[in-house]
Amino acid sequence: MGFTSLPGRAARLPGLVAESTAALLVVALAAGCSAADGAAPDDDGVIEYAHEQEPPCVHGGWVQNAYLARQYLDNLVSLDSGGEVVPWLAQRWEISPDQRTYTFHLKPGVRFTDGTPLDAAAVRENFERYLDPETQNSTVFAYIGEYYERGEAVDARTFRMHLTKPYAPLLTVLTQGYFGIQSPTALARGTRANCEQPVGSGPFRIESWERNQQITFVRNENYTSAPANAKHQGPAYARKLEWKFLKDPTSRYGSLSGGESDVIYNVPAIDWGEARERFEVQQYITPGRPVALNINVSRAPFDDVRVRRAFAHSADWESAVRAAFFDVVPHNGNGALSSTPLHDPEFSDAHRRDVPRANALLDEAGWTGRNEAGYRVKDGVELHPVIVYPAGAVIGPEGVALLQNIQQMAKDTGFHVELLPATQSEYFGGKYSSPDSYNAITGYWTSPTPGLLYINWRRRLPERPNPQNNTFYDNPELERLISRANSTLDPAEQRTLYSAAQRIISEDAVAIGLYTQTTSLAVRPGLRDVWIEKSQGEPVFHDARFVR
Amino acid sequence: MTAVELPEPRTGSGRRVARWIAARAAGALIVLWAAASGTFLIQALMPGDRATLLLNQSSGENRERTPEELAPVNAQYGFDDPLPVQYWNYFAGLLRGDLGTSYQLHRPVLGLILEQITPTLVLACAALVLAWAFAVVITVLTAGRGRWLTAIGSGLETVAAALPHYWLAAILLVVFAIELPLLPVEGRGGALGLVLPALTLALPLSGFLGQVTRDEFTAVLDRPFVLSARARGMSDLRVRVRHVLRHSLLPAVSLSGWAIGALFSGAVIAETVFVRPGIGQVLVQAANSRDIPLVGGIVLFVAVVYVLANLIVDALYALIDPTLGDS
C-alpha cells in the first residue's frame, strides 16, 4: 500500500495525505493486535441481528439499502471515525489540479463472490448503470448525476472518473453504501436476480432472502478487501449473519433480552435505560439533514415569511423532542444540516419559542381575527396549516408524540395545525409531492457531506427539475452559494459559502430541524467489535466475534 | 355471515342435490369474481401513481418523477393502458390460472403464496382448535350452573371476545416471553413458537364461539329430552357432553366458516408481532406497496379458503344436526 504525494496538492487538500497515513496506521494496528484480550474467541459463530425495516430490494437508494450494502459490497473508499476518506477498493488515488479528474488505483487480486474479477471496467460499468435512466439508482444520480462526465478504464487496475466541473464532496459521497461496486456479471442477470441477490466483493455474500423474515448472509471465505478503517483484514470472523426483520419494537427488544438475538437495531426509547445496564449500547447521530419540517413556501399561509417565522417561534422544539424521545434522541433545529462536516452550529438552536414575537409577526401579516375556537383568521380564512408525515415508515410513535406536542404549543399563537398521517403507499406513491398537497412535510436525508445541500435546495426549473426540493423554495442566490461551495478549491471559502446557505434556510424559516436521525444498537455481552460506520450509520459485522 | 343455507334434507331427489351443488358453485364463483374485481379496482383507482410508487419505493424517496423516468415503468406494466384493458389483461390471466408477477418482488404470485401459506394455515388451524376447546370447556363447565358460575363464564367470554389482537399479542409477548421467559419471542420454529400467536388469535374467537354456544346450550338444557336423559340416571356431565353439547354446537359451527376468514386477517398481526412467516405479513407489505397482482392473488386465495371452509361447514352441519341426521 502506497500513498500519493502529488506536489502542490497537499496544500489544497491536506486531508488526503493525512488520511492515507491514518489508513496505514489503522492497518498496522489491526494486524498487530488481532487476538481478543484474554477471552477465547469463537471464530465460527452465527450472529443473529434484529433489524427494523425491510426494503423492497436488497440494493437501492434508501438508507435501508445502505445498511445491507455494507455487508456484501465494497466501495472505492471509506470514511473513518475521524471523518477522513481512507482506502478501500481504491488503494490510492490522485486528483488533477483542476479537480475534474480522479484517478483510482484498485487493489489487486480482488474478486466478486461469483468469481468475476474486480477491475476498472467493472467499476465503470457500475457507475454507468447507476446513472442510466433505465437502471438508475436515484440516490447515486442525485449526488453525481450533474457532475459525472464519464468513466475510463485506463488499465485493469486504474479507473479514472472525469467530472463536468469540480465536485469537492466527491470522495466523501463515494463512501456511502449506495456507491458499492457490484459484479458486472451479476448485474447482467436482470432486475429480479439483482433485487434479491446482488453480488459484491464484500465480507459476506447473500445466501437467501425469506421475505418478511430475514436475509441470511454467509462469510466470503476469500475476502481480502476490507477498508483501511476495518478492525482486521481478511475474512469475517462470523460464519453467518442472520439479518432478521423485527418491525415491532417490543418484539425486537424482547428478542435481545430473551437471548434470541445478539444485536438489535433502533433500541426503543422506552427501553434505552435498561438496555444501557444490560447490554453494550451504541448510538450514532447520522450526518445529513435531521428529521425536519419542510415548509411549503408556494402556498398560503406559509408563502409569507412572517407566518413561517411566527410558526418557528410558536413552539419549544427542543423540549417537545425531549418529552417525546425521553431524552434519548437529541434535538437539532438546523433543518438543513446536522452533525455533518461544515454544518454551522449557529443555527442548531435558531428557532426558539417566543410567543410575543410570534403574535406580533402574525398581527403584522394580517392574521388579526380570531374565531370562536381561538384560532387566528384572515379574510375569513382560518390559520390552518396541514403537516403531512409518513406514518410508520419514517415517523414512529415517538415522532407522532413530538408532532402532537408542537400542535398543542402552536395553538397558543393561533395556529390550527392539522396532522395528516400518510400511509406508505400514499407517501411513496407521490400523493404528497405536489405543491398543493401540504403546508409542511417531514423528511430527512442521511449524508456525510454538506454537498447534500445542493440536492435539497437546488431550484425547480422546467428544464432542470428538482423533485428533491420539497419546500418549493426557489432561491437563485441560495443555489449559487451551494453550487459554488461544491466546486470551490479553497476550504475556507467553502466553509463560508455553506454557512451562508444555511443562514438563508434558517432565517427564511423554510426548514425547521426536529430530531437527529440516529443509528442505535444494543449488543449482548459476549459479542465484540460490532461497530457503526460513519458515512450512513451502517452497522458493520465483518469484525464482530464471539468470545467465551 | 352466520346464516348458512341448509342443504335440502336427504329425502330429496338427486336432481335437487345437483341443483343445490350447482347453486353453491355459482355462488362461490361470484364471490371469487367479486373479490378479484374489487381488489383490482380499489388498487388501480387509489390516489397516487403506481409507476411513481414503484420507483420511489426502490429508492426510499417521496418525489415527483419525470415523464422520462415514468415511461419505461408504465410501458413494462401496462399502467398507461385504458383501465378496461388493464382489467381484461388481469382477468384473462386469472382465467389461465396465471395470478401474475409481483411488481415489487419480481416473482410469480402463485409461487409466493404457496411458499407462505403453510405457516398461516397451521396458525389458523391451531387457533381454531384452541378456540373451540376453550369455548366448549367453559360452556360445559359453567352454562346453566347457577347465577354465579354462569355470570363468571359469560363474563369471561365477553371480555375475551372484546380483546383486540394487537393489544393481546403485546401483553402475551411481554408476560410470557419477556417477563417470564417461558416461550420464545420469535415464533418461527417449532410448536413452542406457535403457542403465543395461536393464543392471540384463539382467545377472542373463543369468546365469540362460547357466547353463541352458551345461548343455545342454556336453551337446550330445558328441553324435555334432557330431562328424560337425566331421568334415565345419566350423570350431569355426560348429559351435558353427549346430548346438550351436540345440540348446541350448530351456531358455533356455522360461525367457524366466518372465523377462518377472521383468523386470516388476525394472522397479519400475530405474524408481525411474533415474527412468523406467513401470508398475512406478505399481504400487508403488498398492500403498502400497491402490488396489485400480489394483493389480488392473496385476496383471491383467501376467498377460495373462505368458500371451501363454508362448504365444509355445511357438510359438518348435516353431520352434526340431529334433526337432519334422523331424517
Kindly provide the residue ranges of all beta strands, DSSP E only, lying in A55-185, ordered along the sequence. 77-79, 85-87, 90-95, 101-106, 148-155, 158-163
8 Å CB contact between A298 and A472: yes
Residue type at A243 in one-letter notation: W
In chain B, what is the greatest distance between 2 CA atoms, to the nearest angstrom?
Answer: 86
Count other C-beta atoms under 10 Å from residue A235's C-beta: 18
Give the Å distances, CA to CA, from A227 to A168, B91, B116. 22, 52, 39
Return the exposure string of B3-25: e unless at least 16 CB atoms fall within 10 Å of the residue's CB, then b.
ebeebeeeeeeeeeeeebeeebe
Q: Give residue A426's Cα distance to chain centre.
A: 23
Q: Cβ of B274 under 8 Å from any chain A Cβ?
A: yes
Q: What is the pLDDT of residue A429?
A: 75
In chain B, what residues touch A245 (CB-CB under 8 Å)? 275
Q: Please state the domain extents for chain B.
A: 16-104, 109-320
8 Å CB contact between B128 and B256: yes
Q: Give residue B311's Cα distance to chain centre.
A: 14
Which residues in chain A show pLDDT less than 70?
1-39, 393
Count other C-beta atoms under 10 Å from residue A448's C-beta: 25
8 Å CB contact between A183 and A504: no
Average pLDDT over residues B49-53: 81
CA B98, B103, B108, B113 dihedral sign is: negative
What is the full DSSP assignment across B202-264? HHHHHHHHHHHHHHHHHHHHTSHHHHHHHHTT--HHHIIIIIIHHHH-HHHHHHHHHHHHHHH
The H-assigned helical ranges of A188-339 are 191-196, 249-257, 272-278, 305-312, 317-325
Query: DSSP secondary-structure letter at A504?
Result: H
Give the Å distances, CA to CA, from A245 to A50, A76, A370, B298. 6, 29, 49, 22
**What is the share, in percent, of chain B residues with pLDDT greater than 70?**
90
Q: Cβ of A218 under 8 Å from any chain B Cβ?
A: no
- Look at residue B16 and tell me whether its pLDDT is greater than 80: no
Query: Any idea of the CA torsion for A400, A390, A146, A128, to the nearest 10 degrees?
Result: 120
Q: Provide, for chain A, the percentages of residues in helix, strand and coil under a 3-state DSSP scheme, each rounded to the nearest 5.
A: 30, 25, 45
Q: Are A390 and B62 an interchain contact pair (Cβ–Cβ within 8 Å)?
A: yes
Give the pLDDT confidence of A423-441 residue by residue, as tens digits.
877 787 778 888 999 999 9
Q: Which of A141, A212, A261, A536 is best to mutate for the B interface (most B CBs within 10 A)?
A: A212
8 Å CB contact between A392 and B285: no
8 Å CB contact between A185 and A119: no
Give the pLDDT confidence of B114-135 residue by residue, as tens digits.
888 888 989 999 999 999 899 8
C-alpha cell at A548: 467465551
Q: Cβ of A136 under 8 Å from any chain B Cβ?
A: yes
In chain B, what residues touch A136 (CB-CB under 8 Å)? 69
C-alpha cell at A116: 468475476
Q: Give residue A366's Cα distance to chain centre.
A: 40
pLDDT band at B104 (very low <50, low <70, confident <90, very high): confident
Average pLDDT over residues B159-188: 85
3-state secondary structure of A391: strand
Q: Are B68 and A244 an interchain contact pair (Cβ–Cβ within 8 Å)?
A: no
Q: Are A255 and B275 an interchain contact pair (Cβ–Cβ within 8 Å)?
A: yes
Q: What angle do CA A543, A545, A546 make, to 5 degrees?
A: 165
Q: From CA A175, how far away is CA B281, in angstroms rounded?
A: 34
Q: Are B275 and A192 an interchain contact pair (Cβ–Cβ within 8 Å)?
A: no
Q: What is the pLDDT of residue A27?
A: 41
Contacts of A324 (CB under 8 A, 6+ apart): A398, A399, A401, A402, A405
8 Å CB contact between A75 and A179: yes
CA A358, A362, A363, A364 dihedral sign is: positive
How far apart are the CA of A438 and the nearest CA of chain B, in angstroms? 13
N residues, chain B: 327
Q: Which residues pair with A8 in a beta bridge?
A: none
Domains, chain A, with CATH or none:
46-285+519-546 (3.40.190.10), 288-516 (3.10.105.10)
Q: How far apart are the first and last CA of chain B?
A: 27
How far apart are the CA of B4 and the nearest CA of chain A, in angstroms? 37
Q: Are B59 and A425 an interchain contact pair (Cβ–Cβ within 8 Å)?
A: no
The H-assigned helical ranges of A279-375 are 305-312, 317-325, 355-364
Of A430, A453, A436, A437, the closest CA to residue A500 belongs to A453
8 Å CB contact between A470 and A435: no
Report CA Rg, chain B: 24
Q: pTM (2 decimals)? A: 0.81
8 Å CB contact between B269 and B73: no
Q: From CA A259, how far away is CA A222, in angstroms rounded?
A: 31
Give the pLDDT confidence of A307-335 residue by residue, as tens digits.
999 999 999 999 999 999 988 888 999 99
Q: Can you name the CATH fold of B109-320?
A: MetI-like fold (1.10.3720)
Q: From CA B4, how far away is CA A547, in angstroms rounded?
A: 63
Q: From CA A89, how far away is CA A538, in angstroms rounded?
A: 18
Q: From CA A470, how far away is CA A374, in angstroms rounded?
A: 31
Q: What is the pLDDT of residue B254?
A: 79
Q: What is the pLDDT of residue B13?
A: 59
8 Å CB contact between B124 and B267: yes
In chain A, what residues touch B57 (CB-CB under 8 Å)? 56, 428
Count other C-beta atoms under 10 Å from residue A355's C-beta: 15
Please name the residues between 158 and 197 in chain B that touch chain A, using a CB distance below 8 Å: 170, 173-174, 177-178, 181, 184-186, 188
Q: Give residue B241's Cα distance to chain centre.
A: 28
In chain A, what residues touch B281 (CB-CB under 8 Å)? 211-212
3-state secondary structure of A106: strand
Q: From CA B135, how far away is CA A21, in angstroms rounded?
A: 73
Return the exposure string of A403-436: e unless at least 16 CB atoms fall within 10 Å of the residue's CB, then b.
bebbbebbbebbbbbeeeebbbbbbbbbbbbeee
Q: Which chain B residue has the Cα nearest residue A443?
A: B62
Residue B29, exposed/middle/buried by CB under 10 A (0-12, 13-18, 19+)?
Answer: exposed
Check: complex ipTM more than 0.85: no
Q: Are B178 and A258 an interchain contact pair (Cβ–Cβ within 8 Å)?
A: yes
